[in-house]
Structure 1
């Protein structure tokens, strides 16, 4: 069997052990694909891009991976598709984010819960940000908050997702920090970050409650935007290091975001472990570190049982947060 050149280099360098390599080879997916549960251009797309390019550059996958876009319900359509129609398909991995977990916590994925898939790997973390057009009158978060508090009807906030989703939560937390009743804020939900950015550019919304990774790629691409604040307890490194946190500007808003993948509930242990091993090996490579940084993600590398425990703990915490906004039906 031919071994890809890059994989031979990894073996020679000792990055991949021979035992792990044998196990990996035994369950190589024939037609690997990454399902991005939204339109192209948003956070799910960039999540798939890290895996696709990482496996391509390292040769850990013999067959090229493709991205399949499956918008609908901010992840619900893809989740239901995997569980109901492809539960044992080891070729398919699906992207998820902290927003997916928040929706699961509120029962927004229909009859399926956090226990109905196999949580595979986390490939980085992201953080919420407040974005406006670069010609907007708001030069910092304080000026946006002042206008928001003065007249909530004149500031339309928009993002991917529906009421109760992670982007709505960022908007609701922003309203709460501005002493505005979150029930009075004007929020427009879009199917993914790409549509929300189009609306911002067209002046249909005044602020986009997006993610740092998306903002990074937009700025790198020359998008006419201004990032007012990062929703983290400290400034981010790299290209966004000059963006102040919300806390620096007097507003207690934090919103960390995990990005990763899951597979169907009936994927065999051997196929599941193949993916776990593959991601663990990928995360050790310089190619992965570069791609992670290139997509604006911050290190949060986790796979297998450790990720499974983390995800289930987060869902409990998100349920408590959603309940504080009256989003959980009693």
Structure 2
């Protein structure tokens, strides 16, 4: 395939991980690696670093995990790399989220269905958010939607994904809930959440449709205002004062799982070792604290159960794309 030919030529750029010592012990010996399929600073970076720190600090790996950044195609480069180059690497995991399922459902990774890789599991969940600068003229979602309805071309949305990505979906569904056609949205695509947030702070866009976990440090800085959390109910801790879209009259929820996949030819033994490792990690109080500090909420879904969950999501998102007018 065209994608595979392209990304095979880039294989020399990837880090080569060491050997994995399999056995009954929980800890892994040797270098493990997590690919974050975006530039530093966004949700994929957070996912890899949470895994790297959590696994090392709880003794589930013996050596620090290497975090490699592989931006491109909002995850397509990394996906093609796993399916065409490092297909059987037992040391390598790739950060993924709900956005990967969305992109697969729309064909943005190429001619793939989503069953080309081994979906490993998710160890946390995040929620979408509608974000503006602290000095923006909108104090709540109603005010933003009123302006958007009157002047859709004057308000630039932006996030770490192209039209059709999960971040675009957040904006589209919110607009649709206000009886505004998603086709009228002015939207700028970035390679990751960190880059999009910088664009917001630099006045290049007016609205950022990101994730709550990406906003923790910015909330403390006072530089942003979160108009709505796309969660079923208000979150606690630093997010307790953020209203949901639903309580403001907009029936929009967008949960984002944070997890991983592995190459299609990874052995059952290696796959199950990682599955057990992450299951054990989510049961550690130290990890629960680390996860909460990064703005993530509990989720623990692994192995075949998680694989089936992702496949079901892909089918659901195909229907959602039709609903918002993205596909026929």
Q: CA RMSD in A?
A: 1.6
Q: Deviations over 1:44-101 (max 9, x none)?
A: 0111111011011111101210110000111111010011100000111000010110
Pairwise CA distance, 1:113: 2.4
- CA distance in 1 between counterparts of 2:57 and 2:318 reads 39
Q: Counterpart in 2 of 1:14?
A: none
Q: Which residue of 1 aligns with 2:103?
A: 103
Q: 1:87 to 1:29 in 2, by over 3 A?
A: farther
Structure 2, unmatched stretches of 5+, are 1-20
1:152 has 2:142 as partner:
no
Give TM-score, length-normalised by structure 2.
0.90
Distance 2:78 2:283 in 1: 29
Q: Distance in 1 between matches of 2:88 and 2:274?
A: 14
Once the two structures are superposed, what CA deviation does each residue of 1:121-151 show, in whole Å capped at 9, x if it has no partner? Answer: 2011111100000111111111111111111
Superposition map of 1:91-130 within 5 A: 91-130=91-130
Q: Does residue 275 of structure 1 match 2:270?
A: no
**Do residues 301 (structure 1) and 303 (structure 2) align?**
no
The answer on whether the counterparts of 2:182 and 2:325 sit within 8 Å (CA) in structure 1 is no
Residue aligned with 2:25, SS = helix
Shift of 1:188: 0.5
Question: Is 1:72–2:72 an aligned residue pair?
Answer: yes
Helix, strand or coil at the partner of 1:54: helix
Aligned length: 308
1:203-259 Cα deviation digits (max 9, x unpaired): 111110010111224324x26111110112211122101100011111111111111
3-state secondary structure, aligned to 1:137: coil
Shift of 1:293: 0.3
Q: Do the aligned partners of 2:41 and 2:193 also contact (CA within 8 Å) in 1? A: yes
| Partner residue, 1:9 | none
Q: Mark the CA change 1:27 to 1:90 in structure 2 (over 3 Å): closer, same or farther.
A: farther
Aligned partner of residue 299 in structure 1, secondary structure: coil
Q: Provide the residue aligned with 2:52 in structure 1.
A: 52
Aligned ranges 1:251-270 → 2 under 5 Å = 251-270=250-269
Moved over 4 A (4+): none
Give 1:6's aligned residue: none
